[in-house]
Structure 1
Amino acid sequence: MGIPVFILAGLLVHFVFLASIFDIYFSSPLVHGMTPQQTPLPPPAKRLVLFVADGLRADSLFELNSNNTPQAPYLRAILENNGSWGISHTRVPTESRPGHVALIAGFYEDVSAVAKGWKENPVEFDSVFNESKYTWSWGSPDILPMFAKGATGDHVYTFCYTAESEDFGAQDATKLDTWVFDHVKSFFNSSRSNQTLFSALNEEKVVLFLHLLGIDTNGHAHRPYSKEYKENIRKVDEGVKEIVSMLESFYGNDGKTAYILTSDHGMTDWGSHGAGHPSETLTPLIAWGAGVNYPQKVTSQLFEDNFLKEWKLENLKRMDVNQADIAPLMASLIGVPFPLNSVGTLPLEYLNNSNHFKAESMFTNALQVLEQFKVTKHMVKKKNMSLKKIIAVPLSDSEQINFLKKARVYIQQQKYNEAVSESTGPLYGFTFVGMIIAFFLLIQTSPWTYYVYCLLPVPIWYAVVRELRVIQDPAANLWSFPIGQSLGFLLICILGIELLVFSFFYRSTLTVGLLVFAGWPVITQLWIQAKRTTLIWTLLCVLLAVFPLMPVVGREPNIPLVVAAGLTTLLISCFSLASFSRSKNKYQSKEDLKVYFYQMFSIALSTYVVSSTHNSLKNKQGLPVFNQIISWTTLASSSALPLLSPTLLFQRLFSILLSLMATYLLLSTGYEALFPLVLSGLMLVWIQMEQEALQHYGLSLKPKVTAPDSYISLNYQKHLLFPLGVFFIVTAFFGTGNIASVNSFDPASVYCFLTVFSPFIMGGLLLLKVVIPFLLVSCAFEAVQVTTQLSSKSLFLIVLVISDIMALHFFFLVKDYGSWLDIGTSISHYVLVMSLTIFMMLMNGLAQLLTTKRLELSRRTKHHST
């Protein structure tokens, strides 16, 4: 099998098994075909107003200012005099879409549903909006359309501002909320001259949804403790007051309007969300109006936290709910059927109604959940009936008889090759295994994807059996070493893999590994061969070991460190240019020097852009257009410039570093800007050590078999390259952050490129930031492979095996039970390692391109001109 075909086959296999856990463990729990259930008694409210303050933390709303005044005076007065309050507990992931689905549809989206689509509905589900007579909603284009597109009929209407309005660098993000308030007021004013709209607004079972994104935007841009975030809360408080006053006037104070204010998720102190920190999962809930209980005085109440005392609310009954409980509460207040897929429990303490109404509502809640159970049970029963019918049918022997006849005919016709092919033991055995697997999948009426997952290993293991000799040869070669070296190598591999697995849970483990590798030259006796180089190796290992100990989240941007990284890169560039000019491998042409100077200029320009951008945003002047153009131009040119540089080893690698470093600086906000510099330095020293080792054994670029002892030692050293390479790959991923945690990302990292909210572009830029250190290691690994004359396929395969062993660890650690934090962590670890394996295949090809190819643009131009 050729290497391109082999890589494509490997990519296919890993993609399939990466997707398998979502299909097997996390298929959608939603069922369809339930009968809607609603309370038979008349509801207390004709209409419901839902305010969702996106990104609002519970403590940010309920806590008092330093002068003991409330942050939101109107809402504070509501919970003290008119309504009920508590904390709504969200689940992971604490993102806008899952939060709104839980609030409005009453169920927690499974991981596969979120993975299949963020803005669209990956699966059909019911919601309070869908069950209403009419729903009008105002706010973000990222949230509102998904509930309108999932509704049956034409009764859910949306009014959205443009996506460009969601600008993290805007002077005043509260405009997102004032836009909503202004348009709601304008909408109701226009209804007075539109009889059709006026009549619809006066119907029963009406929902008004106001999605307020300003708080979330200001939190990302300025952090939750900033004056901008707090000022936005005050603006929302004023806006809610105006809307309530306007609605009460419009409906003539009929007492038939219920109000709920809550949030989809909170926010960490460093301005992110997505994980399970209490600051992200604790959101406020205030309800008042028709059908809602008045404040309940208490003398004492017990909660594990100390919030009541801090907020000075210990005498008002706090009624906490799960986020999905809010959907049945809204349905009960306006008398619509409970959302069909809701798993929420109606919080009776919030209701101000008769015991009869409460009992009927709770009974309806139970019937609605029971309907889901009945449909699920029917589906399982139907599936089992099919299973019994298929099992009752005896297996036919016709296939076996035909096979035997066919083989006998081949023999009689003296077609011995065909007969052997027909009777081949491994092929027949694996075919038989495949048939058995397919049969069991068939009798269970499994989806077609299960056939792929279960049958794919069959041809893979068949290929392994056919290539046993390829596997046996390296094993025999390994055991030809002295027993101490062989056992030592195996022990290093086992401990190394376990160390890498452990690093996914504790990044500081990488520090231990780097300190151990700092002593690698002593173990392999490289210290004797190149003392200066190994001393630099040890120093750089110790420097790199510092990064995993640095905080990932909760840190403030430190732009001076980014500037320092840029200036350090420029200084090193100057020394390198002087070194190259003195060496025999000096630059061959003026074109080479032009490329090098342009890359240095890009580093200087990136350093300026980072500093200038963050100063501009700090002064609320927005992202300068010039800076944005420079950032995108640098990003676009970073992949092409190395291809214009000389292909001499160290010159090409240094050119790759400069190009990628220019982009990395633009994506940095603090100490991580120094990480690629130290990592690349270590990689270059690694290559130098390998070259000096070859020269020490007199092998130059071609190994000699005339020196057995030296050759064995060198081969043992080569085998150490595999765990070392994988360790550096993992270090490149986790050195400055744990990308398995959603909230470890700082949106400020992309501000040099854009400040307008765009999840896919921002996500792509953040992914690029993660990939750059990995690409630097891949290029170094490719250079080491060329230097040591190792087979690229063998090197790649062994590294792949180590990664797959790690993936197997995390496959067995995947959970589909317990808390969402545990489930999410187990999924992200498995996905990360499988993605790492796939990335290795892709990056290997990209590294070969960057390190070996060259564009001869200028020379081609001259040729054509002549």
Structure 2
Amino acid sequence: MLTFFLIGLLVHLIFFASIFDIYFTSPLVHGMTPHRTALPPPAKRLVLFVADGLRADTFFELDQNGQTRSPFLRNVVEHHGSWGVSHTRVPTESRPGHVALIAGFYEDVSAVAKGWKENPVEFDSVFNESKYTWCWGSPDILPMFAKGASSDHVFTQMYPAEKEDFAAQDASKLDTWVFDEVKEFFEFAKKNELLSKKMRQDQIIYFLHLLGLDTNGHAHRPMSSEYKENIRIVDKGIEEVVSIIEDFYRNDKNTAFIYTSDHGMTDWGSHGAGHPSETLTPLVAWGAGVNGPLVDSNQQFQDDFLQEWKLNDSRRLDVNQADVAPLIAALIGIPFPLNSVGILPLEYLNNSDQFKAECILTNTVQILEQFTVKMNHKKETTLSFLFSPFKPLPLSKGQDMLRTARLYIQQHQYNEAINLCKSLINLALEGLSYYHTYDRVFLGISVVLGFVGWTTYAFVLIAKHHTKLNKPICQLDKLSSSDHLPAIFIGAGVVITLLLLIQSCPWTYYIYCLLPVPVWYAVIKEFTLIQNVINLVLTHPAKSMGCLILFILGIETMIASFFYRQVLTFGLVLFAIWPVHSKLLRQNKVMSLSWIFFSSILAVFPLMPVVGRSPNITLVTGAGILTVICSFIFLSCFKTPMAKSVETTTLVNRSVYTAQITSIVLSIYVVNMTHSSLADKHGLPLASQIISWTTLASSLLIPLLSSTLLFQRLLSINLSLMSTYLLLSTGYEALFPLVLACLVFIWINLEQETIQFHSTSSAQKELSLIDFAQRADETPIRYLELDDIRRSYFFIFLIVTAFFGTGNIASINSFDPASVYCFLTVFNPFVMGALMMWKILIPFVIVMCAFESIQVSTHLPSNSISHYVIVMSMTIFLMFLSRLAKILTTQRIGLHKKIKQHFM
């Protein structure tokens, strides 16, 4: 069993890693040549303002008095520049947003492993292509662009990381710091001839990263007065900076300005997911080379923002976030970033049609070259008879379209050239996506074969060792022990290895493709056992079909909960009727009614809003008090008989429980003290930090001091976990582990009732005397029963409930720092992420400990594969549904093309 566990762990680590090779590989390619427009650019310099965490609606909307919060920028929108909404992509985080704005591509997800700070792959950017770039702002953003620059021409000035404090009295100081430093910089430049000379050259970029809005949004929510006042402060600061820059350059009309944001923010102060409040950000551009306001009273958008913002008659020019990078490049005449996938938004340019056509042609050449490099690389590493090119865009067609576009420009047919270039760009982007995902089907098939093979092997192993099905059949025994079987699989492995070697595939491909070979060999070796299982199914077809239908319905219910949390409520309501259906209600009425009650209470949680939307410290306090009360009830109702061996540890146990209950009381106090102090803007108290970190550090150590008797150890574990969970809670979710712990405790008792006939003593007495430490020696070997499948299903369903019950997955995806304020308030992605991850894992640990208790009390074999089969089946169903969804959402039958051709 230990060997199986270690092999299984390795296999699952491989399967886990495969997702990154299949879906999360870097989109970047190398070997392209920089391309720029030959015509003189309209601007010599560009100033980029990025207000981190600014929502489009909050920026453009008018306040309750009908006044704008950004009078300077509103005046620009109405009288001097162009504006629109910049649409971001998931993940809506600071680093991916800035990479899209400045480098023109959408971030490789592997960057999250480095906290969005370092460059997992070096990339080109408008900063790198500029002659000089000066940046001011956060130490989390600026270094990655300076590090990626090809020479020493990107200069950064950053404030200390300690300033990024969510508990700061006024986070807008992060923005005023930037504005003040910019003012000092220009004042210094007036006295420094060398610096002034650099600044007066062409192709200059100034980048102001403004983090105050993001910090205030996290700390106080975007609807708060602090956030909205910060918008006013930013507007005033921008007005002053623009005035200083124009004064420095003697108002030469050669400066372009862009104001935008990296991402938005939800109403509850988080970002990371794909809600419109996170993906819609403002874009305002003005100055040299930028169009003025365009009148358009017939605009139509799916949203109603134009009417809300009172901008119905001013044309709204929406872009994708990556389109900003080519806009910057076109305005100051630098090469387009090499890996940019942005499409130049021509509507923002105030220049001749020839200039627009030349710019979009340069954009086309740059993207087409990426496509060519990616195609050639894939062609070189794929056997010719296996290579399938992107049929809509052969290389010859791309070159022909480029020649035609150039001919249109020579003939002054600029609109035709622009339209042709846009068509070619769209084809090239489709081709880039095609070659980027080229190996997905091949790798997906390999992984699925491995998954199915491992699931089958797990099932075969459990049937072999824990059922009566392992009976030999003479004729088939010869087949399973065939001497040719090893040679066949070895030969298959050699062929796969040679094919991968010839194509110069990454070493990880060998693992994914070769893993199914030994796994399926182990399965085929047990062909006799598989035949016995098939015969058993055929012997009882009706019962087998009924079990299969129930199994599929159960699996599909859990899968549906991955997409709709409310499905868990339906499952928990069905759980509630289990004692009635199984007649446990007659055996133990108190426990059965308690099961129905707590199942119903737990069923309410998936119907609640996602954690973080409505902070309520009163509920956290109430959860802590209820935990203390439940602890005393438990200790009074379930006392362990005072045997001599137990009596010697009673004093220690009482001391442990006293310390843990005291820790819960302290947690209640710390939560209230911390949030009260932060609300009064007094910062994070030192006492709160000390108590919180001490509680966290001791939460996994103190239970080891308690007795290993089943109920005593479970109580100690739950008390320790609950004290930490309270510190990480901001609302109703604090009640979730308490209700879950009560339910699984009742589950342990009811499972004991189901096997009561195995014991002559009362069920309660047997449970109270079970010792985890003696489990290995006392657990008898028995065959699996149908009840074990039900127990396994309950376990998996409760694990899924622990994961999605309070929407905790959204707390990681849409990070809400309020949950970790008892520990720290200064931004630290690794520490904060680790704390949030532990908060998610605590309900898992509660369920796992309960299931371990059930394994002990029901003599269920350790690491039983009955529940393992369910987990693997869930994974396979999810992969199948993923591919089906891909087909349903992306594919289209070519009938519409044939009809179109017929009428043409």
TM normalised by structure 1 equals 0.85
Query: Cα 1:786–1:388, aligned 2, differ >3 Å: closer, same or farther?
Result: closer
Structure 2 residue corresponding to 1:747, chosen from 817, 825, 834: 817
Structure 1 residue corresponding to 2:359, chosen from 361, 385, 393: 361
Could you tell which deviates more after superposition, 810-819 or 22-31?
810-819
Residue number in structure 2 paired with 1:416: none
Structure 1 residue corresponding to 2:855, chosen from 785, 790, 796: 785
Q: CA deviation at 1:388?
A: 8.9
Are residue 728 (structure 1) and residue 787 (structure 2) matched?
Answer: no
For 2:35, the aligned partner's letter is Q
Residue number in structure 2 paired with 1:186: 184
Q: CA deviation at 1:118?
A: 2.2
Residue number in structure 2 paired with 1:38: 36
Q: Is the 8 A contact 2:611 2:731 kept in 1?
A: no
Take 2:218 and 2:734, find their aligned partners in 1: how far apart are those partners? 21
Residue number in structure 2 paired with 1:717: 787
Q: CA deviation at 1:27?
A: 2.7
Take 2:663 and 2:727, find their aligned partners in 1: how far apart are those partners? 11
Matches of residues 454-603 of structure 1 in structure 2 within 5 Å?
A: 454-466=513-525, 488-552=546-610, 555-581=613-639, 583-584=641-642, 588-603=649-664
Query: Cα 1:267–1:576, aligned 2, differ >3 Å: closer, same or farther?
Result: same
For 1:461, the aligned partner's letter is W
Residue number in structure 2 paired with 1:28: 26
Q: Is the 8 A contact 2:480 2:528 kept in 1?
A: no
Q: CA deviation at 1:42?
A: 1.2
Q: Partner of 1:151: helix, strand, or coil?
A: coil
Structure 1 residue corresponding to 2:496, chosen from 420, 434, 437: 437
Q: CA deviation at 1:382?
A: 3.2
Are residue 232 (structure 1) and residue 290 (structure 2) matched?
Answer: no
Cα-to-partner distance string for 1:234-270 (whole Å, 9 max, x where unaligned): 1101110111111111111111111100001111111
Q: CA deviation at 1:713?
A: 12
Q: Partner of 1:589: helix, strand, or coil?
A: helix
For 2:258, the aligned partner's letter is I
Structure 2 residue corresponding to 1:806, chosen from 851, 859, 874: 874
Structure 2 residue corresponding to 1:674, chosen from 730, 735, 749: 735
Cα-to-partner distance string for 1:159-198 (whole Å, 9 max, x where unaligned): 1112221111111100111111111112222223333222
Q: CA deviation at 1:716?
A: 3.1
Q: CA deviation at 1:816?
A: 12
Q: CA deviation at 1:457?
A: 1.5
Take 2:502 and 2:343, find their aligned partners in 1: how far apart are those partners? 38
Q: CA deviation at 1:717?
A: 2.4
Query: Cα 1:753–1:538, aligned 2, differ >3 Å: closer, same or farther?
Result: same
Query: Cα 1:574–1:436, aligned 2, differ >3 Å: closer, same or farther?
Result: same
Take 2:828 and 2:187, find their aligned partners in 1: how far apart are those partners? 33
Are residue 206 (structure 1) and residue 267 (structure 2) matched?
Answer: no
Cα-to-partner distance string for 1:576-620 (whole Å, 9 max, x where unaligned): 232355854776432221111000000100011111111111111
Take 1:603 and 1:318, find their aligned partners in 2: how far apart are those partners? 54
Q: CA deviation at 1:133?
A: 0.4
Q: Is the 8 A contact 1:28 1:113 kept in 2?
A: no
Take 1:755 and 1:355, find their aligned partners in 2: how far apart are those partners? 52
For 2:507, the aligned partner's letter is W
For 1:322, the aligned partner's letter is N
Residue number in structure 2 paired with 1:860: none
Could you tell which deviates more after superposition, 20-29 or 541-550?
20-29
Take 2:33 and 2:139, find their aligned partners in 1: how far apart are those partners? 32
Q: CA deviation at 1:426?
A: 2.3
Residue number in structure 1 paired with 2:894: none
Cα-to-partner distance string for 1:665-699 (whole Å, 9 max, x where unaligned): 11111111111111111111111122233334436
Q: CA deviation at 1:493?
A: 2.5
Structure 1 residue corresponding to 2:690, chosen from 629, 641, 649: 629
Could you tell which deviates more after superposition, 616-625 or 736-745?
736-745
Q: Partner of 1:578: helix, strand, or coil?
A: helix
Q: In structure 1, list runs of 5 or more residues that go unmatched.
A: 390-419, 703-710, 824-866
Structure 2 residue corresponding to 1:132, chosen from 108, 112, 130: 130
Identity %: 61
Cα-to-partner distance string for 1:796-849 (whole Å, 9 max, x where unaligned): x22222111111122234469979x999xxxxxxxxxxxxxxxxxxxxxxxxxx
Cα-to-partner distance string for 1:332-355 (whole Å, 9 max, x where unaligned): 111100111111111111111222
Take 1:536 and 1:475, find their aligned partners in 2: how far apart are those partners? 41
Structure 2 residue corresponding to 1:452, chosen from 506, 511, 522: 511
Cα-to-partner distance string for 1:276-324 (whole Å, 9 max, x where unaligned): 1111111111111111112223333222222111111112121111111
Query: Cα 1:257–1:276, aligned 2, differ >3 Å: closer, same or farther?
Result: same
Residue number in structure 1 paired with 2:700: 639
Q: Is the 8 A contact 1:657 1:680 kept in 2?
A: yes
Residue number in structure 2 paired with 1:663: 724
Residue number in structure 2 paired with 1:167: 165
Matches of residues 304-343 of structure 1 in structure 2 within 5 Å?
A: 304-343=302-341
Take 1:270 and 1:622, find their aligned partners in 2: how far apart are those partners? 20
Take 2:204 and 2:527, find their aligned partners in 1: how far apart are those partners? 70
Residue number in structure 1 paired with 2:294: 296
Are residue 757 (structure 1) and residue 824 (structure 2) matched?
Answer: no
Residue number in structure 2 paired with 1:686: 747
Could you tell which deviates more after superposition, 21-30 or 357-366?
21-30
Aligned residues: 780
Query: Cα 1:691–1:85, aligned 2, differ >3 Å: closer, same or farther?
Result: same
For 1:812, the aligned partner's letter is F
Query: Cα 1:479–1:723, aligned 2, differ >3 Å: closer, same or farther?
Result: farther
Query: Cα 1:388–1:606, aligned 2, differ >3 Å: closer, same or farther?
Result: closer
Take 1:780 and 1:206, find their aligned partners in 2: how far apart are those partners? 63
Take 1:476 and 1:748, find their aligned partners in 2: how far apart are those partners? 58
Matches of residues 242-253 of structure 1 in structure 2 within 5 Å?
A: 242-253=240-251
Take 1:76 and 1:152, find their aligned partners in 2: how far apart are those partners? 38
Residue number in structure 1 paired with 2:395: none
Q: CA deviation at 1:199?
A: 1.5
Q: In structure 2, list runs of 5 or more residues that go unmatched.
A: 388-478, 768-780, 892-904
Residue number in structure 2 paired with 1:19: 17
Residue number in structure 1 paired with 2:439: none
Query: Cα 1:755–1:469, aligned 2, differ >3 Å: closer, same or farther?
Result: farther
Take 2:131 and 2:881, find their aligned partners in 1: how far apart are those partners? 46
Take 2:862 and 2:533, find their aligned partners in 1: how far apart are those partners? 15
Query: Cα 1:21–1:129, aligned 2, differ >3 Å: closer, same or farther?
Result: same
Query: Cα 1:108–1:778, aligned 2, differ >3 Å: closer, same or farther?
Result: same
Query: Cα 1:147–1:455, aligned 2, differ >3 Å: closer, same or farther?
Result: same
For 1:593, the aligned partner's letter is R
Are residue 774 (structure 1) and residue 844 (structure 2) matched?
Answer: yes
Take 2:686 and 2:156, find their aligned partners in 1: how far apart are those partners? 32
Q: Is the 8 A contact 2:812 2:833 kept in 1?
A: no
Residue number in structure 2 paired with 1:405: none
Take 2:870 and 2:650, find their aligned partners in 1: how far apart are those partners? 43
Q: Partner of 1:504: helix, strand, or coil?
A: helix
Q: Is the 8 A contact 2:69 2:231 kept in 1?
A: yes
Matches of residues 369-380 of structure 1 in structure 2 within 5 Å?
A: 369-380=367-378
Cα-to-partner distance string for 1:436-473 (whole Å, 9 max, x where unaligned): 22233234332221111000111122233345677788
What is the root-mean-square deviation in Å for CA atoms of aligned residues?
2.9
